[in-house]
Amino acid sequence: MPRQGTPRKTRTSGRPAARRRRGSPIPASNPEGASLASTIFHEEIAARAYELFLARGGQHGEDLADWFRAEAEVLRERSQP
């Protein structure tokens, strides 16, 4: 009859587990190598996406849809003569 109670512990190699390396955190403003124009473009999209969020009544859950729509609108505005 099998013994009931606490389960057996498994043996380990005694070596510490390898640590996962995390990528460097991305700075909030102007990451290295980003041009001023791309930073301004990003800020324009963010501002427009926020306007769309507010226009929807500030309900969460559609952030990507707002971002993609804002990106399309900003690109369309920039491409017009």
Average pLDDT over residues 46-69: 96
According to the model, what pLDDT value does residue 70 have?
97
Residue 17 in any domain: the answer is: no
- Would 52 be classed as within a structural domain? yes
Sign of CA dihedral 59, 50, 77, 73: negative
Give me the domain span that covers residue 69: 36-79
> What's the domain count of the chain?
1
pLDDT at res. 57: 96
Residue 14 lies in a domain: no
Q: Cβ distance 50 to 67 under 8 Å?
A: no
Confidence at 59, pLDDT banded by 50, 70, 90: very high
* Cα–Cα distance list, 57 to 15, 24, 46, 49, 60 (Å): 54, 35, 17, 13, 9
CA distance 18 to 43: 39
Threshold 0.85, pTM exceeds: no
Q: Within a domain: residue 42? A: yes
pLDDT tens per residue across span 9-52? 666 566 665 565 565 555 555 555 668 778 889 999 999 999 99
In this structure, what token pair is assigned to residue 65?
A: 């849809």
